[in-house]
Amino acid sequence: MVVQIPEMDFGWIVPEIAMTVFAAVALLLTLFRKKNSTWLFVEAMPLVGAIVALYFTFQTWNGNIDIFNNLYTIDNFGVFFKGLSLVILILVTLLSYRYIDREDMARGEYYSLLMFGTLGMMIMVSSNNFITIFIGLEVMSISIYILAGLMGGNAKSVEASLKYFLLGAFATAFLLYGIALIYGTTGMLDIREIAGYVNSGNFMVTPTFMAGLALLIVGFGFKTASVPFHMWTPDVYEGAPTSITAYMATGVKAAAFAAFLRVLFTAFHPFLSGWTYMLWILAVATMTLGNITALKQDDVKRMLAYSSIAHAGYILIALTVGDRTLSSTVLYYLLVYSFMTIGAFAVVIILGRQGSPNTGIESYAGLAGRHPVIAAVMAVFLFSMAGIPPLAGFMGKFYVLTDAIRGGYYWLAIIGVLNSVVAAYYYLRVVMYMYFKEPEAEIGAPDVSIGSTLAIAISVVVVFYLGIFPRLFLMIAHTSSAIFM
């Protein structure tokens, strides 16, 4: 038996190869860099790599092909999320430039791990096989564990890294156990094969299978920071370097939701009635707990961490409804959410100083008087998160709640609306501090750089664009999620 690997297959994974090569080159450049010479080439790697990978990713749009013995899949759903993770990589890199310098982190490793993390996301969102999904998820997670601890001298950063690693390893075990139980009952690892087998009629739902499904939900629930698997989120988001927090809150969450959505809507869609109530409880708990705990936070970074938990709850509403034709909502919401979250964290970064992050809410007092532009963009991001029209966050919430009503989940829609009202309080509280409070202490000039300005500018434009003209990207999201139909 001779196994042949078709050479054609490699043409489809050029974006992944590009990411790997650029990450490795960034490492090597760091190794052979002369002392006191420029960091420019190392710093350019993630940007150039992401742009090259983006170009080749868009070439595979409408590709729809299974490669490497069905272990890897090129489809529009994967292309959408690959594109999203690469755009997130670009934004995070832009706002890292000044920040890395300021906090004195290991640059070469930082950028190459960012790229390896993105590679992991790209792999986990475009596979229909549990093995590839799992390995992609691990590449992503391990890169993030390390990135969270890169602020070596900072005890909080080390704590964040260790906490995320230990709990993450635990969640990985749950996920793996779930996959093992499903493999044990069906004998298959390909989620489309499982779907076909389940629909074929000679399949019997066993408790073992359902236990496997439940464990899978636990594993993915951890990665998406859903209540009750959210315990790590506030501490890790607070302790990690802020640029990495932005990366975790957007990239990791988007990739985890993408894999979650693919697994649930492909393999387990026939058991909709089996998991929909589990997700119902998760969605309600995630929204409510995230929002209510955020009310009490006086630290903006921590508040944004709870807010990101709450946003995961809104996305879970769309998953709970379980309507395959409406899954584009999840994609749209994640797109919107990524831009507004990165924007808000970028503002948090530029207000900080070396050694004093200035994330307390009192640092924001009177910001509008001193730096009207920064206060205005922060207000845009916060209003968008609160879901105030015409910003993108409103459209995201609008589609999610419409889904819930179309699917007949009226209570879920009501709880969602009530939660948005609660959330408005803590977002507007920061705005109130910025515009109507007198500053208590001088925090100095903001640490603005070209990179962070660019990242914030892109985010603001996108937040307005997606809020006022949602149609184009909604259509793209719809085409991407057509794989489930």
Tokens in use for 270? 């026939």
Which of 123/379 has CB closer to another protein? 123
Residues in the chain: 485
Q: DSSP secondary-structure letter at 296?
A: T
Which of 13/282 has CB closer to another protein? 13
Q: DSSP secondary-structure letter at 250?
A: I
- H or E element: which one contains 74? strand 72-74
Is 125 in contact with 79 (CB distance < 8 Å)? no
Helix, strand, coil tally for the chain in percent (to 5): 75, 0, 20
Residue 8 beta carbon to another protein: minimum distance, rounded to whole angstroms: 14
> CA 134, CA 125: separation in Å to the nearest integer?
10
Residue 166 beta carbon to another protein: minimum distance, rounded to whole angstroms: 14
> CA 171, CA 220: separation in Å to the nearest integer?
8
Residue 2 beta carbon to another protein: minimum distance, rounded to whole angstroms: 9
User: How many CB atoms are located within 10 Å of the residue 268 CB?
Assistant: 23
Residue 250 beta carbon to another protein: minimum distance, rounded to whole angstroms: 20
Which of 211/454 has CB closer to another protein? 211
Q: What single-letter amino acid sits at 375? A: A
Which of 212/313 has CB closer to another protein? 212
Beta bridge pairs of residue 74: 65
Which of 144/330 has CB closer to another protein? 144
Among 267, 266, 262, which residue's Cα sits nearest to residue 186?
Answer: 267
Which of 115/368 has CB closer to another protein? 115
Residue 221 beta carbon to another protein: minimum distance, rounded to whole angstroms: 17
**Contacting residues toward another protein, per CB under 8 A:** 1, 3, 5, 20, 27, 67-69, 71-72, 106, 109, 112-113, 116, 119, 123, 129, 131-132, 135-136, 138-139, 142-143, 145-146, 149-150, 152-153, 161, 184-188, 197, 202-204, 206-208, 211
Is 272 in contact with 198 (CB distance < 8 Å)? no
> CA 285, CA 200: separation in Å to the nearest integer?
35
Which of 202/442 has CB closer to another protein? 202
Residue 116 beta carbon to another protein: minimum distance, rounded to whole angstroms: 5
Residue 450 beta carbon to another protein: minimum distance, rounded to whole angstroms: 26
Which of 1/441 has CB closer to another protein? 1
Encode 33-50: b = buried (16+ Cβ within 10 Å), e = exposed: eeeeeebeebbebbbebb
Residue 3 beta carbon to another protein: minimum distance, rounded to whole angstroms: 3
Residue 148 beta carbon to another protein: minimum distance, rounded to whole angstroms: 10
Which of 99/332 has CB closer to another protein? 99
Which of 158/292 has CB closer to another protein? 158
Residue 72 beta carbon to another protein: minimum distance, rounded to whole angstroms: 5
| Three-class SS state of 129 | strand
The torsion angles phi and psi of 132, rounded to 5 degrees, stand at: -65, -40
Is 349 in contact with 402 (CB distance < 8 Å)? no
245 backbone φψ class: left, alpha, beta (φ>0; ψ -120 to 50): alpha
Among 256, 363, 388, which residue's Cα sits nearest to residue 303?
Answer: 363
Residue 484 beta carbon to another protein: minimum distance, rounded to whole angstroms: 23
Q: To 10 degrees, the CA torsion angle through 307, 406, 279, 263?
A: -100
Q: Classify the C-alpha dihedral 285-288-293-298 as positive or negative.
A: positive
Which of 202/273 has CB closer to another protein? 202
